[in-house]
């Protein structure tokens, strides 16, 4: 019996990176992806759509940083989905900020398109109870 696909909300403002990430994630038939370009778009989407299994967000968005987005999501949703960062800002101080904001992990950019789905699946497994 096939399992239901996990729903990933990708928040990435760079259209090229977003397109490559979406294609890379769609290589795994157990993942479905919706992409948003801004934090505001993601917040609006979360209010009006089914809850994703994982939010994958860049930290450098045009309207807010990913940490602010993570905090806004946690304020807006009682049962907020897990959030991971998808960013080039991966110094130890950055990772500490993401963790303090409740992130379940970080995927560094530039990323390996072939391995991206496996990294996301590992994050999903780490959040399953």
Cβ pair 53, 86 in contact under 8 A: no
Report pLDDT for 30: 96
In a domain, 26, yes or no: yes
| 3 domain-assigned | no
Decide if 113 is inside a domain: yes
In a domain, 1, yes or no: no
Q: Is 59 inside a domain boundary? A: yes
124 pLDDT higher than 90: yes
| CATH code at position 117 | 3.40.50.2300
For residue 73, being part of any structural domain is answered with yes
Tell me the pLDDT tens digit for each residue of 36-72. 999 999 999 999 999 999 999 999 999 999 999 999 9
Give the pLDDT band (50/70/90) at residue 129. low
Q: Which residue has the higher pLDDT, 47 or 3?
A: 47
Choose among 2, 57, 4: nearest CA to 32: 4
pTM of the shown model: 0.94
Torsion of CA 15, 50, 55, 123, to 10 degrees: -130
Q: Is residue 101 part of a domain?
A: yes
The answer to whether residue 1 scores a pLDDT higher than 50 is no
Total domains in the chain come to 1
- The reported pLDDT for the residue numbered 3 is 57
pLDDT of 91 reads: 95
DSSP 85: E
Structure confidence by residue, pLDDT tens digits, 76-96? 998 999 999 999 999 999 999
**44 falls within a domain:** yes
Can you give the residue range of the structural domain that contains 46? Answer: 12-31+38-127
């Amino acid at each position: 019996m096939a399992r239901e696909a996990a729903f990933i909300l990708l928040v990435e403002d760079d259209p090229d990176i977003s397109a490559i990430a979406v294609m890379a994630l769609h290589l795994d038939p157990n993942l479905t992806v919706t992409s948003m370009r801004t934090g505001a778009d993601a917040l609006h989407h979360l209010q009006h759509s089914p809850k994703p299994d994982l939010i994958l967000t860049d930290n450098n968005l045009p309207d807010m940083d990913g940490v602010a987005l993570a905090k806004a999501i946690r304020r807006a949703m009682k049962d907020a989905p897990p959030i991971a960062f998808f960013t080039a800002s991966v110094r130890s101080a950055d990772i500490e900020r993401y963790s303090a904001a409740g992130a379940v992990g970080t995927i560094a950019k530039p990323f390996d398109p072939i391995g991206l789905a496996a990294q996301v699946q590992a994050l999903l497994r780490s959040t399953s109870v």
